[in-house]
Amino acid sequence: MTRRVVLVTSLAVLFMTAAAQAQPAPIVFTAIPDQDETRLVEKFTAYARYFEAKLGVPVKYLPVKSYPAAVTAFTNNQVQFGWFGGFTGVQVVLAVPRSQSIAQGAEDVAFTSYFIANASTGLKPSKQLPEAIAGKTFTFGARASTSGRVFPEHFLRQAFPGKTPETIFSRVGFSGDHSRTVQLVQSGAYEVGVMDRIVWDTEVKAGKVDTKLVSVIWETPPFPDYHWVARGDVDKTYGEGFTKRLTATILGIDDPQLLAVFGRTKFIPAKNEDYKVIEDVAKLTGLLN
């Protein structure tokens, strides 16, 4: 009887182990925290369900608290793909061999930022970056944000040759995300700020912006921005051709609700070379060594 019990138990353990091994490992993705955290969790949980249904493997979304945390999660293989800004995408491609930019929003090919100002400044919309912003208090978004820091700083240096943001403005801050930038400028905590134009439009539509208190004073020239990036080893982990399947899954998103939460009309192919200009600008401004 004892031998039978041992045999049955051993077989049960073997079956359970085999069943566990048969289950595909979950694939995990993340995204830079460029907006309100609650909204991000809602948005990317919906995308996790979509990816899982299309890819046939468990998919999980990993929220992170900062842009560097998103880069670290990717670099340490805590996540296998992610939605990055232009600059953070460049960082992860440089950090992890053979990683690939695989898709971007149609709007990300020629992205722009908005410089916004509190009404108390008297600053008005202009076709050129207003010289009168000099001497004001100013907030960027996150330190590693493409639309909230990298290109805005580049354009500031072009408009004020030989000067840095710290010498252009009386005080410089970093809000951490675009939604927070609106709040800080609207409240008067900072007189001027810069942010992602899509987040601005989203916040206005959601009724979170009082345009009597804060308004857009300048739109930057276009630059490439957000993109989906996959680690270079996902095919080895999930099977040959997985990167192509993942890319096709993203490019195939046509649900208006899924696209709407991104503020995108569709996703289109992307490649690493599309973001070389970001690497060049980041080096010029000292943000990338």
d(CA 65, CA 284): 27
Does residue 247 sit in helix, strand or coil? helix
Per the model's pLDDT, the better-predicted residue between 260 and 1 turns out to be 260
Report the half-sphere exposure of 100 (CA within 13 A, side-chain side): 15
Q: Which of 269, 252, 270, 224 is nearest to 47 (CA)?
A: 252
Q: Provide the H-helix boundaries in the chain.
A: 2-22, 37-55, 67-75, 86-95, 151-159, 165-168, 178-187, 197-205, 234-238, 242-251, 256-262, 276-284
b (16+ CB within 10 A) / e for 125-135 = eeeebbeebbe
- Six token digits for residue 131: 């010289």
Mind listing the pLDDT tens digit for each residue in 176-190? 999 999 999 999 999
Element (H, E) at 46: helix 37-55
Mind listing the pLDDT tens digit for each residue in 86-133? 999 999 999 999 999 999 999 999 999 999 999 999 999 999 999 999
DSSP state of 146: I
Domains and CATH numbers, the chain: 19-109+224-284 (3.40.190.10), 113-219 (3.40.190.10)
Q: Rounded to the nearest 10 degrees, what angle do helices 151-159 and 276-284 cross at?
A: 50
Q: Global pTM?
A: 0.83
* Backbone φ, ψ for residue 243 (5° rounding): -60, -40
Is-contact 110 147, C-beta < 8 A?
no
* Backbone φ, ψ for residue 87 (5° rounding): -70, -45
Of the pLDDT bands very low, low, confident and very high (cuts 50, 70, 90), residue 172 is very high
Q: At residue 261, does pLDDT exceed 90?
A: no
User: For residue 48, what are the CA distances in angstroms to 20, 51, 64, 114, 232?
Assistant: 22, 5, 15, 30, 20
pLDDT at 6: 47
